[in-house]
Structure formats: structure tokens, C-alpha cells
């Protein structure tokens, strides 16, 4: 595969391995060594398209009111790199970002200054729905209300036209590096981006977690579901909006879903509510941290966990070792936390059956790992 050439490098730090085609060698080699150590076959590899795969983007808005920059920060700075021709963004992301930039400039909306904690337009979030290729667009401003921005939003609705799924305002008036604030208002369009997990509908409100490389992420979700068996009692920790778990509801005897984040819980609740009555009766949502739901492990014949980068909650890890379910699938985005946690799981409770590497973050040093364990 030929290396891609990006107009925004070297200032843009988003794709450090763009000139080095293929999967990142270090985490892949470590995964191969780990599998060999515990008797698993060489990891299967699932690749991604090299460009156009990112359906979710969060872009900083900085620069001048008449010429705003929309992009990501240079390393270790708040200097935004304008990236109108980003190779990894879905074409709709680039098109929507250009439209928003032009509209902001036309209305002379002051852009945010980190040092002064002043200005209005702060961030832009774009999420492209897979089924329609329309964009859920969220403009984040340095305010607790969208008052005074009505002409801007009217222009955005008109100019985005058929690319628009929905238009949202988010208010983040705090001096913080957090992108999204606590204030929300839907200005146009539908309340959630909708996708499918198996036959179940899944819902992404704008404050829910979602993978940026969603096409490959849903391939991974389908692969996890292949390890389930009809009649399983399924438990999923860190379930998000249900992209993995809700697809198991038809074959499962029961389905227990654990999640803590407010936006993802809202999407998960909508997904459960959209099920037919006979399937909805199988499902129970357990809101809160994984550490508060560890006793669910005892109820599951098939348990799934897809934790954040820091890995499994120590309380959950201890419970999995103490009371191992028949089968366990661990989805990890960090090789360090995966090796640490999996070594404990393999200390006597489980055997490692299979490893797979997913190129969910092309042109970076990161891999997504799927590991399938069976109880000893």
C-alpha cells in the first residue's frame, strides 16, 4: 500500500504513522508474543481503509472571526491546525466543516481564545450517520445559552441543507480542556443518530460515546456476537449505547447491560425501548460504574467488557478471576492495560482461545484488541 500524502503535515499531529503503511509494529508484535506465551494462535488482523473512515470528529475552532481555523491542536499547545482537506475524515465531515467555517466567517462570530477565556465559537462536533450519510452537527460555544446566535443557526440550517441530520448547540462556559459542556439544545432535526446492532436499533445522542471508525467498529461488534450461543445469559460491562450487547437480545435468555456515562445511558435506554415487547422483557440496564455491578458476573454464561483505555476496574477484574463465567470477551484499546489484565485472567481462571487485532485507529500507534477466553 502506498503512503498517503497529507497537506496538513507536519503541523497536524493526528496521523503520526501516515508515511508508514500497515499496522503499528510494536503493539502488533506484543500481541503476537502474548498469544504465543499463552498458547493462542497468531492474532487475526482486520484492516481499515486508509482514508475517509472517520465518521466522528471533534474540531477546535480558533483563529480570527473572519478566517476561523477548524482542526486539531499542534502537539502540547492550543494552536489549532486548520485541516480542511483531512484524508481520514469521511467526505461529509470535511464538507460540513467547510460549510460551518464559511458561515461563522460570514457572521463574524468571535472564535474562542484559551488564554483569555473569551470569544464565542469553541468547538465543532460532527457525527455522520452510516445509513444516510447525514451529519449530526454540534456547535460548542463559550456560553450557558445560545441567545443571540439565532441568525447564525438559521444560516447553518439553510447552508448545510441535505447534509444535515440534526443541529445542536452545546454550551461550555468553563475554563477547561473538556470539549463538551453541560448545556444542550436541539435546534433542528432528529434527536439521535441511528445505527443497527444485529437486528436491534442503536441510538447515539450527541453526548454519547461513539467510535470514530464506526464501520470497522461494527465489524468488531459483530465478531464478538459470534462467540455467543443461543440461550446464553449475557452480561456486558461498559456497554455504551449497546453497539455490541443489543445485537444479542434475540438469541439470549437474559441480557444485562452496565454503563455509567449519562449520554450513553440515554442512548442505551432508547435502544432498549425500541425493542419489541418480548425482547425488551429480557433486558435490564444497570446504571453506574462497573465496580458497583460486579455481582452480575455470577449471572452470566457469556460476559463482555469493553473498558476505556485504563482497562478493567480492579474490582471487576478480581470478580472475573474469582467467579469466571463460561466465556469472556475482552475488547481493549490499549496494549499495556490489556497485557496487565489478561495476565491476571490467565492465572488459573481462563485459557486464551483467540486474539484479533483491529486497525481501528489507522496511522497511529494504537490497535484495538479482541480477546476470547474460556473458563478452565
Domain-wise residue ranges, the chain? 25-48+213-375, 56-190
Nearest to 137 by CA among 45, 68, 206: 206
Q: What is the pLDDT of residues 199-229, one digit of tens each?
A: 999 999 999 999 999 999 999 999 999 999 9
**Residues with pLDDT less than 50, the chain:** none
Q: Which residue has the cell 449505547?
A: 241
Spell out the residues 6+ positions from residue 325 whose beta carbon is closer than 8 angstroms to its own: 235, 297, 300, 301, 302, 303, 375
Identify whether the C-beta of residue 240 lies closer than 8 Å to the C-beta of residue 208. Answer: yes
pTM more than 0.85:
yes
The pLDDT, as a whole number, for residue 135 is 98
Identify whether the C-beta of residue 61 lies closer than 8 Å to the C-beta of residue 112. Answer: yes
Distance CA 229, CA 372 (A): 14
The pLDDT, as a whole number, for residue 76 is 87
Spell out the residues 6+ positions from residue 238 whose beta carbon is closer than 8 angstroms to its own: 258, 259, 290, 305, 306, 307, 308
DSSP 8-state symbol, 2:
P
Cell numbers placing 334 = 490499549
- Thinking of the domain 25-48+213-375, which architecture would CATH place it in? 3-Layer(aba) Sandwich (3.40)
155-194 residues labelled b (16+ CB within 10 A) or e (exposed): bbbeebeebbbbbbbbbbeeeeeebbbebeeebebebbbb
3 state SS of 202: strand
Evaluate the omega torsion of the peptide bond into residue 10 and state whether it is cis, within 30 degrees of 0. Answer: yes
Other Cβ atoms closer than 10 A to 52: 17
DSSP 8-state symbol, 352:
E
Strands 233-237 and 254-259: parallel
- Thinking of the domain 56-190, which architecture would CATH place it in? Beta Barrel (2.40)
Q: Where are the alpha helices (DSSP H) in 108-211?
A: 150-160
The pLDDT, as a whole number, for residue 2 is 60
Distance CA 28, CA 335 (A): 9
Q: What is the pLDDT of residues 127-142, one digit of tens each?
A: 999 999 999 999 999 9
3 state SS of 293: coil
- Element containing residue 264 per DSSP (H, E): helix 262-273
Identify whether the C-beta of residue 210 lies closer than 8 Å to the C-beta of residue 263. Answer: no
The full length of the chain comes to: 376
Q: Which residue has the cell 507536519?
A: 10
Nearest to 333 by CA among 213, 227, 181: 213
The pLDDT, as a whole number, for residue 6 is 94
Amino acid at each position: 500500500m502506498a503512503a498517503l500524502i497529507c497537506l496538513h503535515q507536519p503541523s497536524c499531529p493526528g496521523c503520526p504513522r501516515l508515511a508508514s503503511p500497515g499496522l503499528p509494529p510494536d503493539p502488533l508484535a506484543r500481541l503476537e508474543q502474548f498469544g504465543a506465551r499463552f498458547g493462542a494462535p497468531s492474532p487475526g488482523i482486520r484492516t481499515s481503509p486508509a482514508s475517509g473512515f472517520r465518521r466522528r470528529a471533534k474540531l477546535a475552532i480558533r483563529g480570527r472571526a473572519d478566517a476561523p481555523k477548524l482542526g486539531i491542536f499542534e502537539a502540547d499547545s492550543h494552536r489549532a491546525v486548520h485541516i480542511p482537506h483531512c484524508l481520514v475524515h469521511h467526505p461529509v465531515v470535511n464538507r460540513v466543516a467547510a460549510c460551518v467555517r464559511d458561515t461563522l466567517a460570514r457572521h463574524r462570530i468571535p472564535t474562542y481564545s484559551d488564554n483569555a477565556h473569551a470569544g464565542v465559537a469553541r468547538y465543532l462536533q460532527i457525527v455522520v450517520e452510516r445509513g444516510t450519510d447525514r451529519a449530526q452537527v454540534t456547535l460548542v460555544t463559550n456560553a450557558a445559552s445560545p441567545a443571540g446566535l439565532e441568525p447564525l443557526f438559521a444560516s447553518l440550517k439553510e447552508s448545510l441543507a441535505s447534509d444535515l441530520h440534526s443541529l445542536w448547540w452545546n454550551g461550555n462556559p468553563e475554563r477547561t480542556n473538556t470539549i463538551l459542556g453541560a448545556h444542550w439544545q436541539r435546534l433542528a432535526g432528529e434527536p439521535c443518530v441511528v445505527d443497527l446492532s444485529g437486528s436491534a436499533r442503536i441510538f447515539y445522542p450527541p453526548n454519547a460515546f461513539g467510535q470514530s471508525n464506526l464501520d470497522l467498529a461494527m465489524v468488531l461488534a459483530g465478531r464478538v456476537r459470534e462467540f455467543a450461543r443461543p440461550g446464553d445469559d449475557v452480561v456486558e460491562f461498559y456497554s455504551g449505547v449497546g453497539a455490541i450487547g443489543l445485537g444479542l437480545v434475540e438469541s439470549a435468555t437474559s441480557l444485562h447491560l452496565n454503563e455509567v456515562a449519562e449520554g450513553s445511558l440515554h442512548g442505551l435506554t432508547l435502544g432498549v425501548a425500541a425493542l419489541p415487547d418480548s425482547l425488551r422483557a429480557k433486558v435490564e440496564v444497570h446504571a453506574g460504574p462497573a465496580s458497583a455491578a460486579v455481582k452480575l458476573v455470577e449471572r452470566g454464561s457469556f460476559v463482555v467488557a469493553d473498558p476505556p483505555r485504563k482497562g478493567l476496574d480492579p474490582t471487576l477484574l478480581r470478580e472475573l478471576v474469582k467467579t469466571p463465567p463460561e466465556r469472556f470477551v475482552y475488547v481493549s484499546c490499549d496494549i499495556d492495560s490489556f497485557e496487565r489484565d489478561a495476565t491476571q485472567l490467565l492465572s488459573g481462571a481462563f485459557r486464551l482461545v483467540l486474539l484479533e487485532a483491529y486497525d481501528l485507529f489507522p496511522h497511529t500507534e494504537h490497535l484495538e484488541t479482541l480477546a476470547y477466553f474460556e473458563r478452565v
